[in-house]
Amino acid sequence: MSAPVDLDARLQSFVGQSTGPATRGQDPVNQPMIRHWVEAMGDHNPVYVDDEAARAAGFSGVIAPPTMLQAWIMRGLRVSQEADEARASGRAPADAPNEQLMGLLDRAGFTSVVATNCDQHYERPLVLGDRLEATSTIDGVSTEKTTSLGVGHFITTRIDFRDQDGHLVATMRFRILKFKPGTGPAAPAERPKRPRPALTQDNAFFFEGAKQHKLLIQRCTACGTLRHPPRPSCAACRSFEWDAVEASGRGTLYSFVVNHYPQVPAFDYPLVVALVELDEGTRLVANVSGITPETAAIGMAVECGFEDFDDDLSLPVFHPATATTPGASTGTTDQTGTS
């Protein structure tokens, strides 16, 4: 085991090194390549294809989509294939500094790679006829970092784009993480647990019932009124005496929201959160399964199932009612619903 200090020193020696000779764009900024790009992207901005519109918008003529920057220096299919063939047949040229850096990290066990950031800064819009040349420099190598993927080093490469007059027109910083596979704090399969409900003297019975896969409704023992969410006294008769009855599990989707943000890793998104009106008359907020934002419809019949999220948490989860049970025991309940 070589001391990490050693590795760090060697990694730092790459910072500031050029990764090789300048890359010249094979073609000047041109209309056909722009057209392919905007069609593929579904971009209808006329300044990329219509000279008159570009001038009306304040440009000197048609401009290239700014984010197309890197496309102008991509080496294309033929050169990529030739490089692959050369590598396969062992005729690869001597490693450039960036390849040496990758090799050093590979041998130290940091064999996996993932791109993490791409920052582009544009000095001016590119116009038809511009000829680009790019030089690439290793801008930074981090010390060993602990990330959600594993321990690794971030490598930032800076690419400077210059035009035919040698003027800087854009800069791009591209960051990757070279990491040791399997060293993340938790395998992605192990999801964080769901947040716990805040248990109180009043609501504990509901969650205890859920553990036994029973959907319970609080009932006033003085007047028989059902209520949810649980609370100490009956809104109808003010009595503090209560017990619980098991619900049929049938109801309708009274309302719902789709939670997009913030995302909590314990849940699946898009997250449909339902307000279900039970046939007994009370309403509860609950999870759903088999109901997506596209298929959720207010008034749809739903049935209660249960999901055991972990050893300590089971919750009702409503799915679309399978068998149509028309008018299933709407009963005579005429309850005060929830707030």
Partner 1 sequence: MSAAPSTGFRTTTRTLAEIEVGEELPALALPLTRTLIVSTAIASRDYQDVHHDAALAVERGSKDIFMNILSTNGLVGRYVTDWAGPGAVLTDVNIRLGAPNYPDDTMTLTGTVTARDEAADARGRGAVEVAVRGANGLGDHVTGTVRLLLPAGGGR
* Interacting residues with partner 1 (CB under 8 A): 33, 36-37, 39-47, 53-54, 56-58, 65-71, 74-77, 80, 114-122, 125, 260-261, 263, 269
Min separation Cβ 56 and partner 1, Å: 8
Min separation Cβ 162 and partner 1, Å: 18
Min separation Cβ 41 and partner 1, Å: 5
Of 183 and 259, nearer to partner 1 (C-beta) is: 259
Residues 6+ apart with CB under 8 A from 193: 266, 309, 310, 313
Of 122 and 306, nearer to partner 1 (C-beta) is: 122
Residues 6+ apart with CB under 8 A from 268: none
Min separation Cβ 135 and partner 1, Å: 19
Min separation Cβ 46 and partner 1, Å: 6
DSSP symbols for 267-278: S-SSEEEEEEEE
Of 117 and 295, nearer to partner 1 (C-beta) is: 117
Of 10 and 191, nearer to partner 1 (C-beta) is: 191
Q: How far apart are CA 213 and CA 35, in angstroms?
A: 59
Residue 10, token pair as written in the block: 């060697």
Of 58 and 166, nearer to partner 1 (C-beta) is: 58
Of 126 and 234, nearer to partner 1 (C-beta) is: 126
Of 26 and 325, nearer to partner 1 (C-beta) is: 26
Query: What are 98-104's contacts with CB under 8 Å, separation 24+?
Result: 98/14, 98/19, 98/20, 98/136, 98/138, 98/157, 100/14, 101/11, 101/14, 101/138, 101/141, 101/155, 102/178, 104/7, 104/10, 104/11
Whether 220 contacts 234, CB under 8 Å: yes
169 phi, psi to nearest 5 deg: -110, -20
User: What's the distance, CA 46 to chain centroid?
Assistant: 31
Min separation Cβ 173 and partner 1, Å: 9
Helix axes 4-12, 97-107, angle to 10 degrees: 170
Q: Which of 333, 332, 110, 117 is nearest to 217 (CA)?
A: 333
What is the β-pairing status of strands 313-320 and 283-288?
parallel
Whether 65 contacts 48, CB under 8 Å: yes
Whether 152 contacts 180, CB under 8 Å: yes
Of 114 and 223, nearer to partner 1 (C-beta) is: 114
